[in-house]
Structure 1
């Protein structure tokens, strides 16, 4: 059977869908893949050191200088959801229970209107004060070279603690990983989209589903083969935008 038709039929029959997304989900919005030729790893040295919990604690001022440059934070607000993001929102509008498990930190799933998004690696859209817990948005972060908390204490003084970005830094814990494993295992259909499945512990989700929930049908959509393709029941090598357009045509009965 044609793989696109098979996926369309699986989506139509599924009531509960979990979607695991990676960098390939956002490249069609113009955001470079972390590991692509234009990505952070290619442009910067010692990325895992400078984007680590250790370095933030050691030198938060230089951390922010590097962090802002690496992620081009000034541009982050300009990126918009693409057809892949919008397709997942449309599945919700069809009455499906959709949980998105994303490794991306760009916030585009929420911008697209998806309501149940687990941002496994956090988000670039906010930063939090380590001292008082006050959150600050991206506009605030971009207004300051080194963003500091402006919450006023009872005595009228500003907190002034250097904020910490709400992303999972290297050496940090993935706080919602157990919730993600559970959501994937409870689904009728698991779709991995735009992920090479190289980063632990998130890349263990398909294995977990295969062992704990044999009734869950597993699909991967990625431009290139991954080392985990054989874990999935259906493998589609292609771009996300073109793939969801074809799936949508099948689901609406278009030719």
Structure 2
């Protein structure tokens, strides 16, 4: 058996209708101002930023998105390969789980956009419920339990990754025999460093991404083909 870790970024979900962030047509390149709507300091300090952020989520594609062929290929690999698998994702869309990957096999580095959390009492509820409240006229819904500020249960810009989650990801990177990067520009640290950690600890590093990444020089294989065709073919080879 060969332990395989798959590290996924926004590029794996673009075929599900969710735009990436740093590609040529990425969200932050098209509308740099939108980044403030998901930056912790401005979000907490400015009610208008929060109102705009909730409106953005009303129109966002995440909750209605469906897994694509790449997500399904990973789920099929888990079911049929017989190899130990872990998925580490920068994505917050929940599409790996929706495709059928076991919850316990998916590590969400940046949290989940399908939930909201109170910044005061840490009570959690669903994003669907929060957006229903926005549609009903609450332009900045507060926590039902304590009245605190609600936010998406994701790691915003200006917030640190959960150290337990990051530590688990690092342990996986050190232990795995194959580390596949799928759809990540490997620009955001510390998450991007996992590719280097895996390579340093002897893993075969395979990068599947539309654009060059800083870790291409240390990769054993770099694939520039579309993820929807390249990843299923790669996983077939890794069986």
TM-score, reference length from structure 1: 0.81
Kept after mapping to 2: 8 A contact 1:100/1:118: yes
Q: Which residue of 1 aligns with 2:16?
A: 29
For the pair 1:134 / 2:115, whether they are aligned, the reply is: no
For the pair 1:86 / 2:72, whether they are aligned, the reply is: yes
Kept after mapping to 2: 8 A contact 1:74/1:142: no
Kept after mapping to 2: 8 A contact 1:220/1:236: yes
Kept after mapping to 2: 8 A contact 1:224/1:238: no
Q: Which residue of 2 aligns with 1:198?
A: 187
Alignment of 1:113-132 (within 5 A): 113-115=100-102, 116-132=105-121
* Structure 1 residue 239, shift from structure 2 partner: 0.9
* 3-state SS in 1 of match to 2:228: helix
Q: Which residue of 1 aligns with 2:41?
A: 54
* Structure 1 residue 37, shift from structure 2 partner: 5.0
Residues 70-124 of structure 1, C-alpha deviations (whole Å, 9 max, x = no match) = 4555532210011111111112112332211111111111211212111111111
Q: Which residue of 2 aligns with 1:148?
A: 142
Asked which structure has the greater CA Rg, the reply is 1
* Structure 1 residue 54, shift from structure 2 partner: 1.0
Q: 1:182 aligns with which of 148, 151, 171?
A: 171
Structure 1 251/218 Cα, relative in aligned 2: closer, same or farther at 3 Å?
closer
Residues 208-228 of structure 1, C-alpha deviations (whole Å, 9 max, x = no match) = 1222x12x2111111232232
Kept after mapping to 1: 8 A contact 2:6/2:181: yes
* 3-state SS in 1 of match to 2:192: helix
* Structure 1 residue 147, shift from structure 2 partner: 2.4
Kept after mapping to 1: 8 A contact 2:182/2:231: no
Report how many aligned residue pairs link the two structures. 229
Q: Which residue of 1 aligns with 2:63?
A: 77
Residues 134-189 of structure 1, C-alpha deviations (whole Å, 9 max, x = no match) = 211121121123222223xxxxxxx2222121111111101122211111111121
Structure 1 207/81 Cα, relative in aligned 2: closer, same or farther at 3 Å?
same
- Calculate the aligned-residue CA RMSD, in Å: 2.2
Structure 2 unaligned runs (5+)?
A: none
Residues 185-215 of structure 1, C-alpha deviations (whole Å, 9 max, x = no match) = 111211000111111111111111222x12x
For the pair 1:65 / 2:51, whether they are aligned, the reply is: yes
